[in-house]
Structure 1
Amino acid sequence: MHGPWAQGVGLSRPTRPSMARRPSREVAANEHAAPIQAVELRHPSQSQLPVVVLLLELQPLRPLVVDGGIIRGALGLALHDLAPLAYQALYEAPTPPYRMAWLAPRLKLVLIGHATQHATAVLQAATHMARQGLGHQRVPVHLRAAFQDLGPAGERPLIRDGAWLGLPIPVRLGSMLSPRDPTGPWALHLDTPLFLKQSDRVVRDAPPFSVVLARAIERCSKMFRFGGEFPMLPAEVREAAAHVRLRAHACRWTEFERYSARQKQAMLIGGIRGVLHYGPAPQAALAWVRACTVLGLGGKLSFGLGDIRVREDGPLTGDEVIQKPAVAASASQPTERVARPIDPKNLSRGAS
């Protein structure tokens, strides 16, 4: 056993799990239990929801196609073997209280609400996952370092060259957010594919801000429930948000394959990737989108989708596409496949 093990979790090795296993009654009951007194939040900076954002610098020792599906499966097996209680809390919950994103050469793991109690176990499992290797060929991976992202306060080192320097500590979501929202034109950077639905249809083109805001409120509502909180957005703010203009975009639909143990076949996962340029938005609305820079936005977050950034925007470069946004799925929409080998030499230089 490497590194500290301070969570008191059982170390027995039960049989490997089926990913389709029914959630335990205890987990399901805890998640759906209504808080005694829900707290209304008009701004996410008020949230007391605990979060832990782990950043792991990984370097495959041979070329390897890395995606969220591979990491999700490998981390799940490591957790099941080393920390069954952590596996149950993360992988058997009806609403997963975690998400991940592969941002080469870093893997981001975000634990939310009660999942933060298992942060040390998750980090321990990630180190075990790296030693065991990734993919069908078990490509060994070097864990160069691990940090805890503290938002505006910077990054706190946890592991460097195999040495443990500290343990992850849950922090308040509000402390993770920038103290100032953009007041003028702003850009939404989709660092991993963004999977959205509107009226039960997949959004395959640049979405209007009203769709982005609706999905952000939906995500915040699900996650804040873990802390007995729920977001409040006045009707006049929603109405004003409906008039936020999509100035331009430089994005396209992308897909990658993952193997589904449940379906026993390769499955395609897709979403919008690129940059969306919007006009000024009410700060009371934009704040909820910014909360999703931590919580994630859209669907399939446990497979690495929905990692976003909000930035102030400058003049357009002329390379963007300006068009009326469409929300209906289109079979003719150009598709970019993004399953390509990652060269370890490029990772050592920080290339993605």
Structure 2
Amino acid sequence: MSTESDYVFPVIPYLKLRFQLRSLRAADLPGYKGSLLRGAFGHALRRSVCVMPPKQLCENCMLRSQCAYPQLFETFISKDPPPFMRGLATAPRPYVFEPLDLQKNYNPGDPLQFDLLLFGESIERYPYLIFAVSEMAKTGLGRNRYPFFLETAWWQDNTTEMPSWRQLYDGEKQKLLNAPNPSSLFESALQNDTSSQQLQLSFLTPTRLKFRDELTINFTFRMLCFKMIRRVLELAHFHVPAAIIDWEFHQLLVAADDIEISENRLQWSDWQRHSNRQNTDMKMGGFIGDLMLNGELRAFLPLVRACEVLHIGKGTVFGNGKIGVNDG
């Protein structure tokens, strides 16, 4: 059985893309654009890759296993998950949208930037995703379909001491440039981390965590730790076929009991998204703010730093659950 000090998380490849659109006319968009981007992108991706009639359902399509759309948007479970994951209707989506600002009003020529994180096997689909973003921009964003143009896309290079952005797509030439080099979580997570007794965990976008089927801002570090572990292992299990997963993480949770939340500065923040499938507005609020953690935190540093990339909680695909970590 693993102890808290020797537990090894599975390596998860990831790729961070940054897109820059250019507004072609005056546009009025929501301040928080995660849901808008995800929805418009999904429609554009399906139009771009699906060769079946419009009424064909993904779940019984003969091309389901080879099509980029269901692998990203209709992530059906094809193998039995471990007991604590049972009950999932679909696997977690292997991507996260990260809007970069809250700008609402755009004049012609204004830029709109956002990041898109891809995990595991979805990385191989990046050319399809870039094409879908280009089509999404042409079709238009928002209920009034404001047109944009995909000017450029970059990928984040983490092979040097300071991460840098390298161009991946030239919109004027409609050309993909050099292939990106994905990064990996947990590959060398402890190299730059020393023993830490205090940590500030900042929840930067609304975070939705359910405990006993209720959304709350009151929880222990052990409860939070389990949510982070589950996020990591779900993505590895469903989207990283080569992942080596140690399901015996109980001792890590036991050690989490010794971590104290000395300050809880969380507050609720509401926002709404429109669901096209249900044709209704849905509340997607969550908590933002800071937690101060005290205790022997070294064993947990790889986990919390990985969740800076992965996000946690409900609605991560929209950008919910983004966290930041600062040494106390």
| Superposition TM-score tier, normalisation by shorter sequence | 0.7 to 0.9
Query: Does 2:146 align with 1:146?
Result: no
Q: TM-score, normalization: structure 2?
A: 0.73
Could you tell me whether the CA contact under 8 Å between 1:99 and 1:109 is conserved in 2?
yes
Query: Does 2:12 align with 1:49?
Result: yes
- Give the one of 96, 109, 117 matched to 1:110: 117
Could you tell me whether the CA contact under 8 Å between 2:158 and 2:183 is conserved in 1?
no
- Give the one of 294, 307, 310 matched to 2:309: 294
- Give the one of 187, 198, 202 matched to 1:185: 198
Q: What is the alpha-carbon distance in structure 2 between the residues aligned to residue 270 and residue 218 of structure 1?
A: 21
Q: Go from structure 1 to structure 2 and tell me whether the alpha carbon gap of 1:236 and 1:207 turns closer, same or farther (over 3 Å shift).
A: same
Deviation string 1:27-54 (CA, Å, 9 cap, x unpaired) is: xxxxxxxxxxxxxx9334xx44332221
Specify the alignment match of 1:305 in structure 2.
320
Specify the alignment match of 1:335 in structure 2.
none
Could you tell me whether the CA contact under 8 Å between 2:261 and 2:292 is conserved in 1?
yes
- Give the one of 14, 21, 40 matched to 1:74: 40
| TM-aligned CA deviation for residue 57 of structure 1 | 3.4
Q: State the identity as a percent.
A: 27
Query: Does 2:239 align with 1:257?
Result: no
Deviation string 1:176-213 (CA, Å, 9 cap, x unpaired) is: 8573346132122222211111122112x254321221
- Give the one of 27, 52, 55 matched to 1:62: 27
RMSD over aligned Cα atoms: 2.6
| TM-aligned CA deviation for residue 290 of structure 1 | 1.9
Q: Tell me the amino acid that sits aligned with residue 235 of structure 2.
A: M
Q: How does 1:132-281 map to 2 (within 5 A)?
A: 132-151=139-158, 153=160, 154-155=163-164, 156-159=166-169, 162=172, 164-175=176-187, 177=189, 179-181=191-193, 183-203=196-216, 205=217, 207-225=219-237, 226-227=239-240, 228-231=243-246, 235-281=250-296
Q: What is the alpha-carbon distance in structure 2 between the residues aligned to residue 79 and residue 234 of structure 1?
A: 37
Q: Go from structure 1 to structure 2 and tell me whether the alpha carbon gap of 1:63 and 1:249 turns closer, same or farther (over 3 Å shift).
A: farther
Deviation string 1:210-245 (CA, Å, 9 cap, x unpaired) is: 122110111111011133432456544322211212
- Matched residue pairs, number? 270
Q: Tell me the amino acid that sits aligned with residue 56 of structure 1.
A: F
Which has the larger displacement, 139-148 or 68-77? 139-148
Q: Go from structure 1 to structure 2 and tell me whether the alpha carbon gap of 1:234 and 1:48 turns closer, same or farther (over 3 Å shift).
A: closer
Q: Which runs of 5+ in 2 are unaligned?
A: 1-5, 51-66, 76-89, 102-111
Q: Go from structure 1 to structure 2 and tell me whether the alpha carbon gap of 1:220 and 1:130 turns closer, same or farther (over 3 Å shift).
A: same
Could you tell me whether the CA contact under 8 Å between 2:262 and 2:294 is conserved in 1?
yes
Specify the alignment match of 1:129 in structure 2.
136
Could you tell me whether the CA contact under 8 Å between 1:50 and 1:171 is conserved in 2?
yes
